[in-house]
Chain A
Amino acid sequence: MQSYWKRNKTYMLILLAIWATVSYGFGIFFVEQLNAFHLGGFPLGFWFAQQGSIYVFVLIILAYFLLMDRLDKKYDVHE
């Protein structure tokens, strides 16, 4: 069970790192640098701040669900 919990924490930390990077990193701290690039009519930093980060949030939560579902089965702790 120790390794189950450890693996769970690893998934969590990786996903939270992505969460912080897209929102605080791309959307706030480096927004001006990213705005030099464009995605169609969007300055890239602005796109991350108002659109991209939200899409990534959805994917993070989906990824966590799928990863944990597999992990639960592997360690036989699912219901």
Chain B
Amino acid sequence: MSLQIWTYLIVGATFALYIGIAWTSRVKDTKGFYVAGGGVPPLANGMATAADWMSAASFISMAGMISFMGYAGCMYLMGWTGGYVLLALLLAPYLRKFGKFTVPDFVGDRYYSSAARLVALICAIFVSLTYVAGQMRGVGIVFSRFLEVDVNTGVMIGMVLVFLYAAIGGMKGITWTQVAQYCVLITAFLIPAIAISLKLTGNPIPQVGFGGTILGGADSGKYLLETLNQIGRDLGFAEYTSAFGAGTKPMIDVFAITMCLMVGTAGLPHVIIRFYTVPSVRAARLSAFYAILFIAILYTTAPALGAFSRYTLTNALSETPYSSVPAWFGNWEKTGLLAWVDKNNDGIITYRAGAAFAGKPTYSGETGAHGQRLVTNTPLDNANELYIDNDIMVLATPEISQLPPWVIALVAAGGLAAALSTAAGLLLVIASSISHDLYYRIINRGASEKIRLLVGRVMIGVGVIIAGYFGIHPPGFVAQVVALAFGLASSSFFPIIVLGIFWKRATKEGAISGMISGIGFTMLYIVQTKFMGVSPWFFGISPEGIGTVGMVINFAVTYGVSMITKAPPLAVQEMVESVRIPRGAGAAIDH
């Protein structure tokens, strides 16, 4: 069977599965809609959290980014996993005991203030919207590469699908679909990684093969990482495993970015909300363990895959005449993920450090003397002739390693599962923020169950349309705003939730001024450095890492202002006492 048929078959089967699950777990009340009825077993919640968390970026782009960054890729690996330690130890058990539906609920009640609830609400919506736009784009891109439909058509199909299962099933439907999506995405990630590890190093475990020796070819018997260092030295790249050399990020920046991603992860509302769905505090702690376990499977495989593909790709292409490159080169040239400009007119691919040309390739539509697709980009003044997109490392690996077509189709289904599961989780946060925190808690306290459920479903529809709009018309700054999402989450939610639990004296004035100053500083810095061309002035920390500083400011301001304002009412202090004791959590309650 051809790749096309396999792809339709596997992707179609997974879609049918998701819709089927949503239909069987459709909900009738707000409790089912917001927190899945509160009865999700920890193992299932762990899988759902993992799928919720791992987006198209984790699945498609991360291994490629690491393979080009070498050591510094550790900031994503540690940053996007280490946050779960903070979540499990500092937040999840207590928020579960508190037992309301959303993050703004906690902020509003703990800080006895509608203003605090509103600030938290705006942050939650903003963070989730920026994030979900990127996911919709991801769905469109995967569709266009594997099913050869237009990116916009792909976005549209994704919108309809997510709307169907999120609106019918609510949190309950999303939870069980995410469990299925985790299984699909992890299988799709592991099979090619194991196959390529076996082929390259003879070891079926990528995490071990990563530190092993190369099986055949010119570098037979040498350690893979040592060989990558050698290739780096030969071609003028930084050594793969060495840290903080020339051309890499300085230590303080790697530290700040890692910290910002960790704290941001712990503060992201769509991750926190998952811990409201389990039956008890014990189950919240246990499902945090399952979540990190399931996430770690992908996150420890990704750097191995990155190193394997870096070696395989460099080996196959560097110093190779264009006329004898493998057939897949042409296929991926078509998608714009690979391009070659013959700067010295020798017909041989010269791969060196530096960008071959600025930006992404734009093709003139003509082919050159050696059959390569010509690009209209102006070549930059360096020896490098090869353009390689990050995403190719995961997408093309099965093809480069000559795996059967069903594996390639599976990778497509995996990428879609990763993007759809994250999009659904984010949409639910947006819907619950508006229908529960804004409509029910602030605007209409007398709304009936039926009306609120309807508002929730309508809000999912509105969220899907907005996300789809940004997926089809991506604002030029989509990539930049991801940095903003983590920066905002770490400089807004994390400090005030942690202080709210561990420090009874934290007051509403403290929390509101803390959130505003933390976010204010972070936003200002990101706008200055990303959009206004100001160079990073705070110890050279890049905008991706500035949330760390915003978080420290938030902690300091909340502390300072709390000390000079009146202590919180006794009832609030008693509530803080009670969230520290697991007994009596019951199911998450409406109120």
Is B78 in contact with A53, judged by CB distance below 8 angstroms?
Answer: yes
List, in ascending order, chain B residues with CB within 8 A of A61's CB: 84-85, 88-89, 285, 288-289, 292
Bound CA–CA A53/B242 (angstroms)? 17
B209 — nearest CB in chain A belongs to which residue? A41
* B140 adjacent to chain A (CB < 8 Å): no
In chain A, positions 1-60 with a C-beta closer than 8 Å to chain B are 1, 4-5, 8, 12, 15-16, 19, 23-24, 27-29, 31-32, 35, 39-43, 45-47, 49-51, 53-55, 57-58, 60
Docked Cα-Cα span, A46 to B262, in Å, equals: 19
A23-B82, A41-B225, A64-B285 are contacts. A58–B582 as well, Cβ < 8 Å? no
Q: B interface, by DSSP: helix, strand, loop or mixed? A: helix
| A19-B85, A23-B82, A31-B243 known; A50+B77 contact, CB < 8 A | yes
What 0/1 pattern do residues 211 to 230 of B give for CB contact below 8 A with A? 11100000000011110000
Say which size band chain B's interface belongs to: 35 or more
Q: Are B71 and A46 in contact (CB under 8 A)?
A: yes
- Across the interface, do A41 and B223 meet the contact criterion of CB distance under 8 Å? yes
Contacts A28-B251, A79-B280, A79-B281; A5 near B580 (Cβ below 8 A): yes
Query: A53: which of B71, B82, B88 is its contact (CB, 8 Å)?
Result: B82
Residue A78 CB within 8 A of the other chain: yes
Given contacts A35-B242, A50-B303, contact A27 B74 (CB under 8 A): yes
List, in ascending order, chain B residues with CB within 8 A of A12's CB.
Answer: 89-90
B88 engages A64 (CB within 8 Å): yes
Residue B258 at the chain A interface, CB threshold 8 Å: yes
- Which B residues touch A65, using CB under 8 A? 88, 285-286, 288-289
A12 vs B292: C-alpha distance in the bound complex, in angstroms?
17
Q: Hey, which chain A residues are within 8 Å of B384, CB to CB?
A: none
- B residues with CB within 8 A of A: 66, 71, 73-74, 77-78, 81-82, 84-85, 88-90, 93, 207, 210-213, 223-226, 241-244, 251, 254-255, 258-259, 262, 280-282, 285-286, 288-289, 292-293, 296, 299-300, 303, 580-585
14 extra interchain contacts, Cβ-Cβ under 8 A, other than A42-B225, A53-B81?
A5-B580, A19-B82, A28-B255, A31-B71, A42-B210, A46-B71, A46-B241, A49-B243, A57-B85, A61-B84, A72-B282, A78-B583, A79-B280, A79-B585
Sample (5) of A-B pairs whose CB atoms are under 8 Å apart: A12-B90, A23-B258, A41-B211, A64-B88, A78-B282
